[in-house]
Amino acid sequence: MKICMIGAGYVGLVSAACFSDFGWTVTCVDKDPNRLASLKAGKSPIYEPGLEALMERNVRVGRLVFTDDLKTAVANADIVFLAVGTPMRRGDGYADLSYVFSAVEEAAQYLDGFTVITTKSTVPVGTSREIERRLKAKRPDADVAVCSNPEFLREGSAIQDFTHPDRVLVGTDDLRARDVMERLYKPLALRGSPVMFVERESAELAKYAANAFLALKISFINEIADVCEAVGADVQEVASAIGRDRRIGDKFLHPGPGYGGSCFPKDVSALIRTAREARSPVSIIEQVERVNHERKLAMAVRIETAAGGSVRDKTIAILGVTFKPNTDDMRDAPSLLIVPMLQERGATVRVCDPQGRPQAEPMLPGVVWCENAEDAAAGADALVIVTEWNEFRALDLEAIKSRMAGSTIVDLRNVLDPATVRDLGIAYTGVGRGRSPASQKAG
């Protein structure tokens, strides 16, 4: 089976590397010369645990090739995956499909023999049909079937997620395409992952519905955390109690500074727009978008309150700026709202992040970059954990305290044990862990 993967972004690159590891021959096409040069040199342009090793072993045996030669890749392919970006369009919040359509139109010229064309990028409902329409207009003679095959992997655990998915979802009404996709995913089916065949519109909508539901779950537990603080309950206990109900499930019930990343904010926004356009608004998801934005601002206020009511002329140490651990991705990271708000209110901000600096540096002007948590703590009035990198779970709190000017820790991910922190004479503010004077919403 020969695969052409158009787009070597997060989803494209991980999918290409994993498919090649199944034994398929994958040609990954990208137009960005810098990205391509890095890939050809065996370097992943993104930080993702395990990815470079996977790329290396498949490139070595010739199963994974990086190129800008779309013509040969498409002409030889049994399946062409569209994994180009679908960013949020500035101004109206819709998914921007210009990269998808230009890739389709370019690829159309080179199609040769029966080819399955399938979206891997998250695309609004109806996109597969629109791709089909454009293909037929451009190449009425081409023998193609257009599918939708959304990807559910998470950054930071992308390879594990790709190779052990809860389900593989394929939207198609074409029997030959179904056969090709069944063969493609056989290695995962044999390992026990269900491969589901559904209508194309169902596959497209399911991806948005899944992400919106997960975003809803996070916003829900964030609000419950606030209630916990108001009534003196512990959100960890509440989450673990409700999570045991299998109808609710115990995942995605960690309160924090609000969700970020390349998917949730963009997909929530796109679903809201699609639903409004279809005259079937998802008002609950519209609330989620608003609640999540306010959540990030409320976290800056929480830090200010914990620092004694004002951060003017104070130094705040921020541990972790990426939107989650094990990635260098800064897209829609809560830190991008929290840090500037602290700076606006007069704070000096010292920052450390195990992988985030190259991406974050231009996005967070005016901060002082530090090597590690202890370095960041030097002279700080308050220390704040924004992203739960593992190394922040086992901080040497005594060393940190001795370097700080103040003695306040704000733990926005609940990774520290409050009693241990308080025993050292450090004031502790977590999220939803009993009554907290710092638990005020952004006004």
Q: Which of 200, 273, 302, 324 binds ligand UDX (CB under 6 A)?
A: 324
Does 85 participate in binding ligand UDX (rule CB under 6 A)?
no
Distance CA 159, CA 337 (A): 30
Nearest to 371 by CA among 398, 390, 355, 352: 352
Q: Which of 9, 171, 260, 354 binds ligand UDX (CB under 6 A)?
A: 260
Q: Which of 155, 226, 229, 328 binds ligand UDX (CB under 6 A)?
A: 155
Consecutive H or E run containing 194: none
Which residues does 289 contact at the CB level (< 8 Å), separation at least 6?
Answer: 265, 268, 269, 272
Please, which residue, 348 or 439, has the CB nearer to ligand UDX?
439
Does 170 participate in binding ligand UDX (rule CB under 6 A)?
no
Does 323 participate in binding ligand UDX (rule CB under 6 A)?
yes
Distance of CA 64 to the CA centre of its chain: 25
Does 331 participate in binding ligand UDX (rule CB under 6 A)?
no
Q: How many residues bind ligand UDX (CB under 6 A)?
A: 19
Please, which residue, 144 or 238, has the CB nearer to ligand UDX?
238
Please, which residue, 214 or 426, has the CB nearer to ligand UDX?
214
**Binding residue per annotation — 154?**
yes
DSSP 364-432: STTPEE-SSHHHHHTT-SEEEE-S--GGGTT--HHHHHHH-SS-EEEETT--S-HHHHHHTT-EEE-SS
Please, which residue, 19 or 110, has the CB nearer to ligand UDX?
19
Query: CB of residue 207 vs ligand UDX: minimum separation in angstroms?
Result: 8
Does 293 participate in binding ligand UDX (rule CB under 6 A)?
no
Interface with ligand UDX in residues 202-231 (CB under 6 A): 211, 214, 218
Query: CB of residue 318 vs ligand UDX: minimum separation in angstroms?
Result: 15
Query: CB of residue 235 vs ligand UDX: minimum separation in angstroms?
Result: 11
Q: Which stretch binds ligand UDX (CB under 6 A): 42-50, 95-103, 246-254, 389-397?
A: 246-254
Which residues does 42 contact at the CB level (< 8 Å), separation at least 6?
Answer: 52, 55, 56, 59
Please, which residue, 239 or 307, has the CB nearer to ligand UDX?
239
- φ, ψ of residue 411 in degrees (nearest 5): -110, 90
Distance of CA 367 to the CA centre of its chain: 24
Consecutive H or E run containing 438: none
Burial of 362 (0-12, 13-18, 19+ CB in 10 A): exposed
**Binding residue per annotation — 252?**
yes
Distance CA 178, CA 184 (A): 10
Distance CA 138, CA 88 (A): 27
Does 259 participate in binding ligand UDX (rule CB under 6 A)?
yes
Is 263 assigned a catalytic role? Answer: yes
Distance CA 255, CA 268 (A): 18
Nearest to 204 by CA among 109, 312, 119: 119
Does 47 participate in binding ligand UDX (rule CB under 6 A)?
no
Catalytic residue among 18, 228, 263, 352: 263
Q: Is 440 left (phi over 0), alpha (psi -120 to 50) or beta?
A: beta
Does 154 participate in binding ligand UDX (rule CB under 6 A)?
yes
**Binding residue per annotation — 118?**
no
Does 256 participate in binding ligand UDX (rule CB under 6 A)?
yes
Please, which residue, 260 or 354, has the CB nearer to ligand UDX?
260
Query: CB of residue 177 vs ligand UDX: minimum separation in angstroms?
Result: 22
**Strand boundaries in 149-214, DSSP class E:** 168-171, 195-198
Nearest to 118 by CA among 138, 152, 145, 85: 145
Contact 403, 377 (CB under 8 A): yes
The DSSP secondary-structure symbol of 104 reads H
Query: CB of residue 407 vs ligand UDX: minimum separation in angstroms?
Result: 27
Q: Which stretch binds ligand UDX (CB under 6 A): 129-137, 259-267, 277-285, 395-403?
A: 259-267
Please, which residue, 228 or 263, has the CB nearer to ligand UDX?
263
Catalytic residues: 263
The binding site for NAD(+) consists of: 30, 35, 86, 122, 155, 266, 331
The binding site consists of: 30, 35, 86, 122, 152-155, 207, 252-256, 260, 266, 324, 331
The binding site for substrate consists of: 152-155, 207, 252-256, 260, 324
Question: Which residues of the shown chain bind ligand UDX in the complex (CB under 6 A)?
Answer: 151-155, 211, 214, 218, 252-254, 256, 259-261, 263-264, 323-324
